[in-house]
Structure 1
Amino acid sequence: MQIPPVFIDVTLEDQALELRSYFKGLGAEISEEKSPKGIEDDLHKIIGVCEACFKEGNESEVEMILNDIVSIMVLIPLDRCESIIMAFCEKLSKAPGQKLGISCLRVLWLLFQSLDESSPIRYNVYYHILLIAKQTDQVRSVYEDIAHLKQLFNKCPPSNEQLQKLYRLLHEVLLKSNESEQAAKVMIELLKTYTDKNASHAREDAIRCIVSAMADPKTFLLDPLLSLQPVKFLEGELIHDLLNIFVSENLTAYLKFYNEHKEFVTSQGLNHEQNLQKMRLLSFMQLAESQPELSFDLIEKELQLKPEDVEGFIIEVLKTKLVRARMNQSAKSVYVTSTMHRTFGRAQWQQLRDLLFSWKSNLSSIQEGMKHVTQTQLELLSQSQ
């Protein structure tokens, strides 16, 4: 969200008097005389009644008035202005309606950009920006990805507790905006903030992270979750058992778990039909890892599909680009050229190592062959002369 800064060529005191007069005209309980205590008290009084301008259909004027307040705040030393900024953020985060909310979002984003990058108050402003983004479904205007978020606070990183609070809110906002893939990445970052010493306190966050990853239709590599300390503390619990099924087991294992723990799966907010679809995809990938040619009969049996549904399922698999293959309808088979691994451990690293060494050996042979051809051509040329 790009917003130009606001510059007003009048003194702060005169701006404050104009704002007092404006809000007085709206019927707010505020005097038109400046405070004897100084500009900070003027701002406190103005912010205390600023919601008087929140009127639907007048968003451009509201935004202009609120930007006037920002233009005063950013010129006051931070040590005298923190409580004022916090009060302002609280007021704007409660603006009613979509259009007014977006206007307030723009105003707080201007405030955020106007503050010094080393200022700790920027965290609080951004937190309230996310609160408004949640109400207005505007998260993409103030959030790109985790890397960009970290860059925003590069010169003044939030504390661990602040980061956890921010990530939890961001996760909620992204889920509400149907950004499930980004939400899952945020949850993983949240779990990374816990150490061996306090990982046992991250139970709810760990469960939320696992459920988000399993429910996300675009997330298929769940193996990295098992290495996170908060997830390790869940070993022996049903949620950890279910995660292991999604990481390395097949459809049969999932159906057995579901039949034994239907209420648990439902209580986690997971959809059984969506789980079935993901487990079929994951099971197909597992089959493709070891068998370059898969018959329709094998796919039908292993994935418990109806004969008429096999071709449609294969097409859905190819759309995900998790597996590269071609389907031979006349031979009723699928020829796999490559597939993403569900897990990437020692065996996969060894396989990659062997493949790279094979390529290196083949390239060396080609190089030696080219040297021999070149030498032969030079000798023939020499003889002809």
Structure 2
Amino acid sequence: MISVFGTGTGAPLPPEATSALAEAGLVVGARRHLAAARPPQEAEQIVLGPLAPALDAIERYREKQEGRVVVLASGDPGFFGVVRALAERFGAERLDVSPGVSSVATAFARLGLPWDDAVVVSAHGRDLRTAVQVCRARPKVAVLTGPGSGPAELGAALAYRSAERILVVASALGDPEHERVERVTPAEAAARDWGTAVSVVLCLDESRALAPVRTVAGPPSGPAQWALDESEFAHRDSMISKFEVRALALARLGPRLGELIWDVGAGSGSVAVECARFGAAVTAIEKTRDGSDRIRANAAAHGVDVQVVHGAAPTVLSDLDDPDAVFIGGGGRELPAIVTVCARRARRAVVVAMAALDRVPAARDALTGAGFDCDGVLLQSSRLAPLPGGVTRLAATNPVFLLWGVRPPARTEGVPQ
């Protein structure tokens, strides 16, 4: 049996941990955990750094001896912690886990806030990009930090994209002498050296920090409906993607939490808003001032965050973060150049809606030229429309050509596809 004890945030080890340590033949933990626990001198000790060598050492010990193995970990070791690696290597049935209080729970407790509606993202040993997109899209996020993915880096990424957010930096939680919980703007966080004691960073829209009572923890499961009727959005002269077009566009874009979507030539922002309702971070690019204001109003009306960039594509695209997927709903004569730029930078997919059939070949060439697998469809729909006398006719909508390109998975040399 491998006994795993979470040390919590400053709380002393429970009595059962003391008993287990007294019987342990091998104790694994960070240097501070070992120093605080004071294992018996005869027990072998391994300072936990890179995980793989520690797992190998545990396996070698268990093959040779029957002594007890104790693993000490921070907070709740089953929450983005060592329990996953131990269970994968040795089997969950061989683990006896005693959790401590996680840094996330402690940080929210310090603020007096519930966290059943928070999204938790780990940036420890991971690309910070996902955490940034989640912070842009959701009003209550906890980010577990790591070297190169701390408050300064997070603040720098959010300063010009979600400047209205507040970062709560919790350092040395549980340490009576060094604990700090500080509220800063993203720009202030970016300008400081936070050292190595940061436990967790909370990213909050304080106006939405207290959500209604929840039944299911975590982020919302997604919108109950999508491809909303055009009447759900403010728009000018019917300049809006029709819901039939939006339905297929959303299916091909696949917006989801942790990703960034561009809506280029956003118009009313209907596609941008729908992507944000699915949990994606969204940047809407619109060249008209009144269109930009309309997008902001539509986003606010639907309770989502959309970054609006006022300017003409493709010029303004150079200053934006690379997207996962792009919807292009406008462009005119610049459309081939816009598609080329978007296809070069999109990680996953580009979807283009065109009313003019003449523009389809150039857009398709731009997608295939960028290495995308390309497909498309001409959408022609007729909607039910009432007539006098209680009868109904079919009213045709304008046909729209929807073209999409999907980046094929990277080929691995020597592995058959």
- Give TM-score, length-normalised by structure 2: 0.30
Q: Please identify which structure carries the higher helix content.
A: 1
Q: Please identify which structure carries the higher strand content.
A: 2
